[in-house]
A and B are shown apart, each in its own frame.
Chain A
Amino acid sequence: MFKISESEREYLVGGILQNVRNDGRANLDFRSIVVKTGVLTQTHGSARVQLANTDVLVGIKLETGEPEAQAPHHGRIHVSVECCPSASPEFEGRGGESLNNELTLVIERIIKDTSSFDLSKFSIIPGKLVWIIYIDAMVLDSGGNLFDAISLGTRAALHNTMVPHVDVNIEAEEFTVSDDPESFTRIDVSDIPISVTFCKIGSGYVVDASIEEESCMSVRTTVGVNKKGNICTLQKGGHGSIDPTTMYQMIASAKKIGMRLIEGLDKTLHTESNDLQSKKNIGFFIDQ
């Protein structure tokens, strides 16, 4: 568990009241975000997000399989988030397990919402065969605010995903997945939300908390926001409580910040995918 001293804590809390944080940011400022797509060659889509020390890698893998009985016309999604035990001692053992579980379910809830992600487009033979989308996120290093980093990474990786073309012979119920790298379709990610996480520290709250700030927060609120500014998921963490007025304020600021983030992300992704067309290989370890 990351721990800071009492005086450091007072310094942080005092600063937040004055709207100045220890790294010079205002309470509602994000750290600079580095997003790279197409970093893993063996996946159908991938992205790496860096938020100061936080480093998250998201890979998307596609497989064909049977649909769920309850939804025969829809593709399936599997989300799994794993925090590298080497990144932080708190990721080890049972503590890590519950954090992984929490992160997984937040991302799953964001993605599985039908209005953000249309799974009916992932049906190959209705009732028989669909795409199964595996979203695997790996936290390589933790510098606070994992939720937002992973949600940004997921959106970027899905944007980067290339769904191979499938030839179907309905009569014979046979199909072939095309192995031509040029024959693929992209996934529409415009409605996929991202999350904005607030931490209540003392009586104020901040966005994109660093690991020092997270260690003295009482409540963490993760708010999912989509392009239209709709609130797509809400999750409280931490062991404190929060008064309703602050809650509403958080939701209102989440909408503003989230929409700005999505705009920025989309712009970056757009230029990245244009770049991708020209230079094909971007190695994993090349340049920061």
Chain B
Amino acid sequence: MESFRKIYSSEFHKKFLAHNVRPDGRSLDDARNTKISVNSFGSSNGSAFVRIGNTHGSQKLGGGGGDGTSVTCAIVAEVGPPTDATPNGQIIVNVEMTPICSSRFRTGKPTEEAQALGHWLNELVRSPHHLSLEDMKVKMTRHEAVEDDEEEDSLPGMVWYLYADVYCINHDGSIGDAALIALFSAIQNVRLPQLVVTKENQMIAMPIDASSGRINILHHLVPTTFAIIDEQVLVDPSAEEEELSSGLLTIVTRSDGSLVTIRKSGGTSLDDEKLKQCMKTAAERCKTVEKEIKSQR
């Protein structure tokens, strides 16, 4: 059975898909469960862990492969001078797909997949329509207030640069979905500390308290990935399904129901009817996932 799956994987999947069911027991328009937990890492300014699939003992056939995608994102805030392009600071996203998450990756420079995903996330997160960085000014005070009043002014105006690192823990398909959800959940939970400057010009972050700053999220973005296998469209594909597919489609929707972006790879075409269906599914999924993200505040 398992050898059959390995050797004739496309035949194996076709036998299931002919009955509109997938090897893991889902129907074609059935997304896996999304579970989010936030602020797991105290060493960062905000963090989130996202797991898609296998959140409750899911039925598995043959045991091969899939176990759910998991991704963690943590944000470290650093201080730097503002530039013309970044008067309010910036969020810098990097995606690390280390060899731990799949046998496809090896140590060394990041794969193109990781770089492309990182670029895509950066674009989404830097768009002024979703996030507002305006309140993100650094609050600094002198340690042991210096008598000289002119000294007070010498504190330079600084802004926050937030390094968001997305680590992929287990790559079982729809990694972009997990990454974007993790990124927004982490941003939502970022706390920016007050800074104190000592005599030696050391900048020291004070413990987080009620006055610590937050980032204003205007709209949550929720992505949904679809895989196109022959004529069929599968929502939230697993790694195995992604490999067999002739194309992937990612639809990002906003909490108010509007469409943000569509990203499609692969050469196969998709007719109108199917695309509309996909957008409907994406909008539905957006609601459930957004609820999950907001509950983690």
Interface size on B, residues (CB 8 A): 4
Smallest beta-carbon distance A247→chain B, Å: 33
Q: Is B84 an interface residue (CB 8 A)?
A: no
**Measured CA separation A127–B143 after assembly (Å):** 15
A86-145 with Cβ < 8 A to chain B = 126-128
What is the interface of chain A mostly: helix, strand, loop, or mixed? Answer: loop
CB neighbours (8 Å) of A127 from chain B are 199-202
Q: Is A72 an interface residue (CB 8 A)?
A: yes
Q: Is A170 an interface residue (CB 8 A)?
A: no
Smallest beta-carbon distance B191→chain A, Å: 22
**Measured CA separation A78–B123 after assembly (Å):** 40
CB neighbours (8 Å) of B199 from chain A are 127
**Measured CA separation A74–B251 after assembly (Å):** 54
Q: Residue of A at shortest CB range from B199?
A: A127
**Measured CA separation A203–B208 after assembly (Å):** 56
Most buried by A among B199, B200, B201: B200
**Measured CA separation A127–B201 after assembly (Å):** 8
Count, A-B residue pairs, CB within 8 A: 9
Smallest beta-carbon distance B143→chain A, Å: 13
Give the interface size class of chain A: under 10
CB neighbours (8 Å) of A128 from chain B are 200
**Measured CA separation A157–B45 after assembly (Å):** 45
**Measured CA separation A72–B201 after assembly (Å):** 10
**Measured CA separation A156–B202 after assembly (Å):** 36
Q: Is A286 an interface residue (CB 8 A)?
A: no
CB neighbours (8 Å) of B202 from chain A are 69, 72, 127
Interface mask (B181-203 → A, CB under 8 Å = 1, otherwise 0): 00000000000000000011110
**Measured CA separation A127–B200 after assembly (Å):** 5
B153-211 with Cβ < 8 A to chain A = 199-202
**Measured CA separation A72–B199 after assembly (Å):** 11
**Measured CA separation A114–B200 after assembly (Å):** 21
**Measured CA separation A103–B203 after assembly (Å):** 34
**Measured CA separation A72–B200 after assembly (Å):** 7
Q: Residue of A at shortest CB range from B201?
A: A127
Q: Residue of A at shortest CB range from B204?
A: A69
**Measured CA separation A19–B199 after assembly (Å):** 62
**Measured CA separation A126–B201 after assembly (Å):** 11
CB neighbours (8 Å) of A126 from chain B are 200
Smallest beta-carbon distance A68→chain B, Å: 10
Smallest beta-carbon distance B215→chain A, Å: 26
**Measured CA separation A4–B199 after assembly (Å):** 62
**Measured CA separation A145–B199 after assembly (Å):** 47
Q: Residue of B at shortest CB range from A72?
A: B200
Smallest beta-carbon distance B199→chain A, Å: 7
Interface mask (A67-85 → B, CB under 8 Å = 1, otherwise 0): 0010010000000000000
Q: Residue of B at shortest CB range from A69?
A: B202
CB neighbours (8 Å) of A69 from chain B are 202
Q: Residue of B at shortest CB range from A67?
A: B200
Interface mask (B4-45 → A, CB under 8 Å = 1, otherwise 0): 000000000000000000000000000000000000000000
**Measured CA separation A126–B199 after assembly (Å):** 10
**Measured CA separation A27–B201 after assembly (Å):** 55
**Measured CA separation A66–B202 after assembly (Å):** 13
Q: Residue of A at shortest CB range from B202?
A: A69
**Measured CA separation A128–B201 after assembly (Å):** 9
Smallest beta-carbon distance B109→chain A, Å: 17
**Measured CA separation A151–B201 after assembly (Å):** 36
Interface mask (B121-134 → A, CB under 8 Å = 1, otherwise 0): 00000000000000
**Measured CA separation A69–B201 after assembly (Å):** 9
**Measured CA separation A13–B101 after assembly (Å):** 45
Q: Residue of B at shortest CB range from A128?
A: B200
Smallest beta-carbon distance B78→chain A, Å: 12
**Measured CA separation A3–B199 after assembly (Å):** 59
**Measured CA separation A23–B199 after assembly (Å):** 61
**Measured CA separation A69–B205 after assembly (Å):** 13
**Measured CA separation A69–B200 after assembly (Å):** 9
CB neighbours (8 Å) of B200 from chain A are 72, 126-128
**Measured CA separation A69–B79 after assembly (Å):** 14
**Measured CA separation A241–B126 after assembly (Å):** 53
Smallest beta-carbon distance A227→chain B, Å: 34
**Measured CA separation A126–B200 after assembly (Å):** 8
**Measured CA separation A72–B202 after assembly (Å):** 8
Smallest beta-carbon distance A101→chain B, Å: 16
**Measured CA separation A266–B200 after assembly (Å):** 39
A161-189 with Cβ < 8 A to chain B = none
**Measured CA separation A265–B27 after assembly (Å):** 78
Given A126-B200, A128-B200; 7 other pairs, CB 8 A cutoff:
A69-B202, A72-B200, A72-B202, A127-B199, A127-B200, A127-B201, A127-B202
User: Interface on B for A, CB 8 Å cutoff?
Assistant: 199-202
Q: Offer 9 A-B interface pairs, CB within 8 angstroms, sorted by A.
A: A69-B202, A72-B200, A72-B202, A126-B200, A127-B199, A127-B200, A127-B201, A127-B202, A128-B200
The 5 A-B pairs of least Cβ separation, nearest first, read A127-B200, A72-B200, A69-B202, A72-B202, A127-B201
